[in-house]
Structure 1
């Protein structure tokens, strides 16, 4: 790869000073997204806030989309592990609580709105966003596997679909209807997902899955 071409963000795990530069730039990117959103994201300002030469930022990340894409990969790496409460209901309520906490935190809500907006207009960013959620679903999938081992659900239950059913109503209110989000919404989402899972709605291979 020539010096004039930006590296594909997230394809190389940096170490030492390179890792510190990446951390500073991604932190500055997150700050900027939280403050002004994606469409106002400015490479020069991110470089200045990170204390990094703008030539480095342009060479490595290339565009604002490159910054957002790498930030999403970093967020996936830093995400919290799944819960293990001993019951499927407890685990799903922990999952819903984590999603709710993220989407109602003023800073993180602004960041997620910004990255979702970026994904809507750029396929590379959309791929990174899918990767972020794929990582989170994979991290949490064992809660359903454990539930099938305990006999709480049928063995052919699709774990990913159960988890999507928990978070989807929260994201709908967050991004589409812009309605208030609170514990009552999370509780209803969990109750609906549990009822559907116990009824076999999420059986692997079932029509619609």
Structure 2
């Protein structure tokens, strides 16, 4: 059996409290300062945890950010099942919109995405984060196929990506508001494209 990466196990008691405090501090520092200025000693100070503990458990900033992304993916709300593809995708889009529009979370995602463009470890962690979230929501597309709302052969992962792509684009490229109406339009566009067969394999 392979050994778990440092900081990725979910033990209980004091260890869990230390991990939660360090991840919270890392998220705060990332949102405030960006990836380039992250420092394990500063994060330890913010979390009121010994530096040695942080260095021993995570070792590098990249490992800590990877664990933060794992935690964020696991803490994200589960998918909503409304009984219709449009309802499910609107729920997904609104969840993404609320996360990205949140002052802390929006900055945190911008910082991680920026870091992923030049740091392979952060890019891998970001890819794992989205793989977990897409896998969580893909069943709603499979259910829509079973109900006849989407063509056979539709790729569920592509549909879920299509919902959030316009929201991330707006976050990263414009100063336009990231509101619920924008989320709903993203879901409606993804449903229309799905029904037209745009995401068939």
The TM-score normalised by the length of structure 1 is: 0.89
Instruction: Structure 2 unaligned segments of length 5 or more: list them.
Output: none
Separation in 2, partners of 1:171, 1:152: 26
Quick check: 1:103–1:174 contact (8 Å CA) kept in 2?
A: yes
Measure how far apart 1:14 and its partner are.
2.9
Q: Matched residue pairs, number?
A: 198
Aligned to 1:181: 178
Separation in 2, partners of 1:114, 1:126: 12
Quick check: 1:170–1:181 contact (8 Å CA) kept in 2?
A: yes
Separation in 2, partners of 1:66, 1:86: 39
Aligned to 2:87: 90
Aligned to 2:56: 59
The TM-score normalised by the length of structure 2 is: 0.92
Aligned to 2:31: 34
**Aligned pairs (5 A) from 1:118-157:** 118-157=115-154
1:22-75 per-position Cα deviation (integer Å, ceiling 9, x unaligned): 111111111112222222222111101211110111122112222111100111
Aligned to 2:16: 19
Separation in 1, partners of 2:113, 2:6: 18
Q: 1:10 to 1:49 in 2, by over 3 A?
A: closer
1:77-121 per-position Cα deviation (integer Å, ceiling 9, x unaligned): 111100101111001111110111011110110111111122122
Quick check: 1:10–1:73 contact (8 Å CA) kept in 2?
A: no
Three-state SS of the structure 1 residue aligned to 2:35 is: coil
| Segments of 4+ moved more than 4 angstroms | none
Quick check: 1:9–1:69 contact (8 Å CA) kept in 2?
A: no
Question: RMSD value over aligned CA atoms?
Answer: 1.6
